[in-house]
Amino acid sequence: MENTDKRFVAKNLLKMINYYNFLAFAIVLSSCVSNKSALKSFNSAEYNVAAEKFKKVVKDNDPKTNFLIAEAFRKSNQIWDAEKYYFQSIKEGIDNELAYYYLIISLKANNKYDAADSIAKKYLQIGSDENVINLINKESIYIENLKKYPDTSYYKVKNLNAINTTFADYAPSYSKGKLYFVSNRSTEKLYKGTGTPFTDLFEVITKGANVEIESLKKLGENINSEQVNEGSITFSDDGMYMIFAKGNDGKSSGRNNVDLYFSRYRRGGWSNPRLLNVNTSRSWDSTPFLSKDGKTLYFASNRAKGYGGTDIYKANLNRRGRWINIQNMGPVINTPGNEVFPSVTEDGRLYFSSDNHEGFGGLDIFVATRRAGEIEISNPGKPLNSTGDDFGVNPFNPTRGFFTSNRTGGKGDDDIYTFVNDDPNLKIVNYILKGSTLTPRDESNDLEILGNSVVKLLDKNENIIEETFTDNDGNFQFKVYSEEDYILIGEKENYFNTRGDFSTIGKSLDKSKLKEFITDVEFEKNLVLDKIIMNKSIVLDNIYYDLNKSEIRPDAAIELDKLVIIMRDNPSISIELSSHTDDRSSVDYNQDLSQRRAESAVVYIIDKGINENRITARGYGESQLLITNAKNEEEHQINRRTEFKVTSYEFVERDEPGDDERFFNNN
């Protein structure tokens, strides 16, 4: 069975809700369906072929075959043709309640909102499957809310007629004066899953929406492969590096699903593509998008432990050119359905498409914005969205871009469109955090530049938002958002990982008072990293104990919590925690007291989750006085101190494996 990045996969093959396995369902039906050849095609994901075979043998009173035809149409990107077969399967008593849900979806795709609403209300009176009830209850709310959407918005759209054909043309990506896109216009060989030709990647010179159609050509044979579907593509800002999706070749030695590949432009051509390390061997990974600085990759995947269907993920680029910190973007963006085709504007808005957020039918385009640490999802409405599939936004600038739709009125299957956002109240504020990594010079308090360090930006819950690498001058930069608390962590070999707090709360601009369309606001926050010197004592501030006691006081706990953070941020170090006394009691008493105090502090730290093998308690009593013959309380207090020193350290550079399913299953 051959898998593909053809957009039908993104939009339909993975529309299966988690708790149902339709393949198994089809196999169970094998004894009930008379055409074994049709069933074999269905189970091999040759859905278009299966639909045609089933149609030749189906009867009105055959609910299971009608359901399989509807499923075959849905999975082959023909959801509008599935309507009558879902309806017939329900009419004849199909025992799978998901038929109601997908009937509603197909009715919406055919712009029959009143009928969809009627079916939803009827099902909610008779339904028994709690999962389907939840799905349809949500759809009923969506349908009601759709009545409130105006027919127009500030978005204006236009078919890019010069480039579109009667075939599928989709997933536009603009780079350095050229528009790249996917099309199946160039071959007669059909992919059996959809009954449509295989797809290739094309390029054409364009100035905005003005296409020089005579320059249109396919990318080279090392990029486009015969009888393999090439898919959506994205580029670095300089146009010299690209990532694109590609299906396997169907051979037993090939990978099982769609994967992401990368290629570099060298000596006048694109290098042979290589697998990107974000892929997993048993998942569908596609619809990539590179941020403008090239350090963040967004993509869609149906890998394990997602929220259902395909989810949006992101990853950061490390100094070795590998993608790390692979993160699911969470349940506000991702749903039990499918989220695909992410893209990000310069001001940080995330465009993506979904079949499970509140939409008009099929895939709709949504916009995710972040403020005060929360993500808000909005549907930009018509005409950017329609009752068809709307997806693949590629921003040209904050107000213009390209996208794809198979709406009525196009030239064929999928068409490429342009859009303009003419909202007169649209004001863009870019909040930018800049800083440097520094370190103390020798034993002085003077600071010097510490270049080539790792700096991570975390939210208040310590989730990594972005990771970057400082240049030789120690400079780093992050995009931040309004009214939000952040944590910065700096890392470098042979230095303590150091954190610092930063906040934009109370620092936001009032957009209504701004005159410029784009306003940049810059903040500064430096990080000071101390060098790790083995067995060098570091005094902890204000670790006080009650007289002749070893219990941890609340004020001491505050300081010990700081050491806990140091241990968490520096998992490669082990330490000795030591306690010292003054010399105003006997040597033996002071030795015992200091040991008890050190052990008490260590127990506190272990109770906070630090591995006991990483920390040792040591009491030194009065054997290491900093001031001998202390004359006053202040000098005695200097002697009564708590210290720690690093006893072992092993730097391990993080390098998450790209094609290791165990990594994702363990995280």
Are residues 170 and 309 located together in one domain of the fold?
yes
The pTM of this model reads 0.81
Tell me which DSSP letter residue 397 carries.
Answer: E
Domain CATH number, residue 476? 2.60.40.10
Question: Which domain range does residue 584 map to?
Answer: 538-649
Let me know: does 466 contact 296? Beta carbons within 8 Å.
yes
388 and 400 together in one domain: yes
Higher pLDDT, 13 or 104: 104
- Say whether both 407 and 472 belong to one domain: no
SS (H, E, C) 431-476: EEEEEEEEEECCCCCCEEECCCCEEEEEECCCCEEEEEECCCCCEE
Q: Check whether residue 362 and residue 300 sit in a common domain.
A: yes
> pLDDT confidence of 276, banded at 50, 70, 90?
very high
| 278 shares its domain with 366 | yes
Least confident interval from 247-251, 425-429, 485-489: 247-251
Of 146, 165, 181, the residue that ends a domain is: 146
Q: For position 7, what pLDDT does the model report?
A: 42
> Are 270 and 375 in a shared domain?
yes
485, 628: one domain: no
Question: Does the residue 579 lie in any domain?
Answer: yes
Q: Specify if 43 maps to a domain.
A: yes
Cα separation, 554 vs 44, in Å, equals: 66
> Which of 527, 513, 514 has the alpha carbon at shortest distance from 476?
527
pLDDT score for 654: 53
**Rounded to whole angstroms, how far apart are CA atoms 361 and 146?**
10
Largest CA distance in the chain: 104
Residue 315 lies in a domain: yes
Contact (Cβ atoms closer than 8 angstroms) between residue 271 and residue 250: no
Any domain includes 664: no
- Note whether 238 and 367 are same-domain residues: yes
Residue 650: Cβ-neighbour burial (10 angstroms; 0-12, 13-18, 19+): exposed
Q: Is the pLDDT of residue 458 over 90?
A: yes
Q: Compute the average pLDDT of residues 270-281.
A: 93
3-state secondary structure of 14: coil
Please tell me the predicted confidence (pLDDT) of residue 209. Answer: 84
The total number of structural domains in the chain stands at 4
Q: Which CATH number characterizes residue 382's domain?
A: 2.120.10.30
Instruction: Please give the full DSSP string across 505-537, using - where no structure is assigned.
Output: TT----GGG--SSEEEEEEE--EE-PBP-TT--
Residue 129 belongs to domain with CATH number = 1.25.40.10
Residues 559 and 637 in one domain: yes
* Residues 491 and 474 sit within 8 Å (Cβ to Cβ): no
Average pLDDT on 236-260 reads 78
- DSSP letters spanning 628-639: TT--SHHHHHHH
77 domain-assigned: yes
Report pLDDT for 248. 60
Tell me the helix, strand and coil percentages in the chain, rounded to 5: 25, 30, 45
Which of 145-154, 189-198, 210-219, 577-586 has the weakest average pLDDT? 189-198
Same domain, yes or no, for 340 and 377?
A: yes
What is the average pLDDT across 122-149? 89
pLDDT tens for 321-375 read: 899 999 999 999 999 889 999 999 988 999 999 998 999 988 999 999 998 889 9
Choice between 19 and 447, residue whose per-residue pLDDT is larger: 447
Q: Which of 509, 528, 547 is the last residue of a domain?
A: 528
Q: Supply the pLDDT for residue 256.
A: 55
Does residue 242 form part of some domain?
A: yes
Residue 659 lies in a domain: no
Residue 251 has pLDDT above 80, yes or no: no
Structure tokens at 470: 């400082």
Q: Is 480 helix (H, G, I), strand (E, B) or coil?
A: strand
Residue 37 confidence class, pLDDT cut points 50, 70, 90: confident
pLDDT exceeds 70 at position 6: no
Q: Do 513 and 616 share a domain, yes or no?
A: no
Q: Is 277 part of a structural domain of the chain?
A: yes
pLDDT at 193: 66
Last residue of a domain, one of 472, 496, 528: 528
Residues 125 and 40 in one domain: yes
Q: Where is 81: in which H helix or E strand? A: helix 79-91
Nearest to 194 by CA among 332, 394, 474, 3: 3
Q: What is the DSSP string of 207-236?
A: ETTEE-GGG-EEPPTTTS-TTS-EEEEEE-
What pLDDT is recorded for position 20? 33
CB 183, CB 233: distance < 8 Å: no
Structure tokens given for 121: 């209300």
Given pLDDT bands bounded at 50, 70 and 90, which one contains residue 24? very low
Here the CATH number for the domain that contains residue 552 is: 3.30.1330.60
Average pLDDT, the chain: 87
pLDDT tens sequence across 40-72: 888 887 888 888 889 888 888 889 999 999 999
